Amino acid sequence: MSKISKDTENAIRDAIILEINGRKFFNHAAELTNHPKGKKMFLHLAEEEVKHLEIFSKMFNEILGGSDWKKELIPDDVSGEAPLVEKLKESMKLEDRKGEVEALRIGMELERNAITFFQEAAAATDDPVAKKIFLEISEEEKFHFDLLQAQYDSVTGTGFWLGSAEFQMDGKW
């Protein structure tokens, strides 16, 4: 494996673990959601996490000169259940509709944490390629947060009432 800073190495590992856990969370939320559109949204978010993993793999293969980094940086225990999936399972045992609202709330928490993580990772790395990708992923996570927030507002009947379509979902959380 090529030499990279310890901060970048940690960011690589943590980003991949975050995306793996995010995918697990959104797939599980889709399994437990009864509403077809809600199920579709969670599955879409799970697919987005897979795309992020592919981006990270390609980027770090280029930075580190091959795929050997995966064996060195990614712990074997990532294959277990993610802590957020466990939290979701407990929350979804509640009454039917309330569990789906809880899945949205936990999903927003996950995305908020991801935004912060990727912004901090971008600030901490000296590698311009890694910085660019961390910032791009952060923007995508902002869009995901806005999507979940809009869905949460719709399901709970909260949020703003708008008289016309004067806005767009542009990831400006």
Answer yes or no: are the C-beta atoms of 110 and 84 closer than 8 Å: yes
Q: Domain count of the chain?
A: 1
Given a cut of 80, is residue 64 above it in pLDDT? no
Q: Is residue 117 part of a domain?
A: yes
| Predicted local distance difference test score (pLDDT) of residue 91 | 64
169 part of a folded domain = no
Cα-to-chain-centroid distance, residue 136: 13
- The pLDDT-based confidence of 139 (bands split at 50, 70, 90) is very high
Give the SS3 label for residue 75.
coil
Q: What is the pLDDT of residue 55?
A: 82
Asked whether residue 80 carries a pLDDT value surpassing 60, the answer given is no
Q: How confident is the model at residue 1 (pLDDT cuts 50, 70, 90)?
A: very low
User: Is residue 163 situated within a structural domain?
Assistant: no
Domain annotation covers residue 115 = yes
30 domain-assigned? yes
* CA atoms within 13 Å, Cβ hemisphere of 140: 18
Largest separation between any pair of C-alpha atoms in the chain: 56
Question: Domain range for residue 149?
Answer: 6-156
pLDDT of residue 151: 87
Q: Which amino acid is at 22?
A: G
pLDDT at res. 98: 66
Q: What is the CATH number of the domain that holds 121?
A: 1.20.1260.10
